[in-house]
């Protein structure tokens, strides 16, 4: 069996497992799957830049928010129907990725982290400042008609899951192909040794710009999907914690692996959910768990699996 076939089977197996889980888990846990998949799309977008290209952004919440507001505001203020508004959300994430990338990629390393953090903070404050339109920190509820696609109301539990699954499956399969493509392999080459990649004749800056634009588009897609499926748009999703979350998800799940982001989101979601049921000091438990994982599984959960299954994409 070739690695490509194994990879495709793995991804199809993950998608099938999500369907089985939805059909068999109790209502609460089944309902969580939609949210986990949307956040996993966000993590996949982050992973493309961090895990595969080696660029650590501390400002990805701005791309998630760009998608969320790109969809939400056009639906709310201009009455744009769901699908075009959703497409505008993705476009907003990609466009912001392109612009921020063009400026931030003049820096590298710690400076890149700080510049992305500052851009994200500027985006957050911009949302607050234009509160007349965005409703600032309070946010707004997405009009119910903007949550209907092809006559299907996505506020229903099953419909929401189906939509989240379709989006997640498309993103997972597409990134699976992307990281095996020439572009994906070149991005990994940049991550491993940018200077050598340049010496081999690749335009590393242009490739990194492509990576951040794609990453912005995927993050924007996730933001738009969150608003579409859960009916809320708010500035808290543009705040610093939502830039840190994808980093944690990817680190925990396994940076530079296609299924790592999903595993990371799953792990963090239920770590918080379970710990908060035990004690109000649940963030302490979460923190200790993260430290332990970092100490004993620095490559993340998927990284551990990859030791036994080296073909894991």
Binding site for another protein (CB under 8 A): 22-23, 26-28, 30-32, 35, 121, 125, 128-129, 131-132, 135-142, 148, 150-153, 155-159, 161-162, 230-232, 234-237, 273, 276, 280, 282-283
Using the minimum distance from each CB to another protein, give the nearer residue, 1 or 23.
23
Using the minimum distance from each CB to another protein, give the nearer residue, 150 or 296.
150
Structure tokens, 204: 């590393």
Cβ at position 213, least distance to another protein in Å? 26
- The dihedrals phi and psi of 149, each to the nearest 5 degrees, come to -120, 125
For Cα atoms 51, 57, 61, give the angle at the middle one, nearest 5 degrees.
Answer: 110
Using the minimum distance from each CB to another protein, give the nearer residue, 125 or 174.
125
Using the minimum distance from each CB to another protein, give the nearer residue, 276 or 299.
276
Using the minimum distance from each CB to another protein, give the nearer residue, 39 or 100.
39
The neighbour count for residue 153, using CB atoms within 10 Å, is: 12
Cβ at position 21, least distance to another protein in Å? 11
Q: Go through the chain and tell me how many residues it has.
A: 313
In angstroms, the Cα distances linking 73 to 85, 134, 299 are: 8, 7, 39
Cβ at position 277, least distance to another protein in Å? 8
The dihedral over CA atoms of 42, 44, 45, 49, expressed in degrees to the nearest 10, equals 140
Cβ at position 288, least distance to another protein in Å? 16
Using the minimum distance from each CB to another protein, give the nearer residue, 169 or 302.
169
Using the minimum distance from each CB to another protein, give the nearer residue, 164 or 210.
164
Cβ at position 91, least distance to another protein in Å? 24
For Cα atoms 235, 236, 241, give the angle at the middle one, nearest 5 degrees.
Answer: 135
Within 13 Å of residue 112, how many CA atoms lie on the same side as its CB?
Answer: 17
Cβ at position 118, least distance to another protein in Å? 12
Neighbour-count burial for 230-243, b at 16+ CB within 10 Å, e otherwise: bbebbbebbbeebb
In sign, the C-alpha dihedral spanning 33, 34, 37, 38 is: negative
Alpha helix (H) ranges present in 181-281? 182-192, 194-199, 204-230, 241-253, 260-278
The dihedral over CA atoms of 191, 197, 203, 206, expressed in degrees to the nearest 10, equals 0
Using the minimum distance from each CB to another protein, give the nearer residue, 77 or 141.
141
Cβ at position 242, least distance to another protein in Å? 9
Cβ at position 245, least distance to another protein in Å? 10
The Cα 187–Cα 23 span in angstroms is 38
């Amino acid at each position: 069996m070739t690695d490509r076939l194994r990879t495709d089977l793995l991804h199809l197996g993950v998608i099938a497992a999500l369907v089985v889980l939805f059909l068999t888990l109790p209502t609460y846990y089944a309902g969580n799957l939609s949210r986990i998949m949307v956040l996993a799309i966000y993590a996949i977008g982050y992973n493309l830049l961090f895990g595969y290209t080696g660029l650590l952004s501390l400002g990805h919440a701005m791309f998630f928010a760009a998608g969320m507001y790109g969809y939400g505001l056009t639906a709310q203020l201009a009455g744009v129907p769901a699908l075009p508004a959703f497409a505008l959300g993705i476009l907003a994430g990609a466009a912001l990725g392109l612009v921020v990338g063009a400026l931030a990629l003049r820096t590298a390393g710690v400076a890149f982290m700080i510049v992305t953090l500052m851009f994200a903070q500027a985006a957050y404050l911009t949302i607050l400042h234009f509160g007349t339109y965005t409703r600032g920190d309070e946010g707004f509820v997405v009009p119910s008609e903007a949550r209907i696609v092809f006559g299907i109301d996505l506020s229903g539990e099953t419909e929401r899951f189906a939509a989240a699954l379709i989006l997640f499956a498309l993103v997972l399969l597409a990134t699976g192909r992307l990281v095996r493509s020439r572009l994906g392999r070149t991005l990994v080459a940049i991550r491993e040794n940018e200077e050598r990649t340049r010496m081999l004749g690749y335009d590393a800056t242009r490739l990194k710009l492509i990576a951040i634009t794609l990453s912005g588009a995927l993050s924007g897609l996730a933001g738009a999907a969150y608003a579409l499926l859960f009916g809320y748009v708010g500035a808290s999703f543009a705040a610093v914690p939502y830039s840190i979350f994808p980093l944690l998800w990817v680190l925990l799940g396994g940076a530079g692996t296609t299924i790592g982001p999903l595993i990371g989101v799953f792990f963090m979601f239920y770590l918080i959910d379970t710990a908060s049921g035990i004690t109000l000091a649940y963030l302490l438990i979460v923190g200790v768990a993260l430290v332990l994982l970092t100490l004993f599984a620095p490559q993340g959960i998927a990284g551990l699996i990859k030791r036994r299954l080296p073909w894991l994409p």
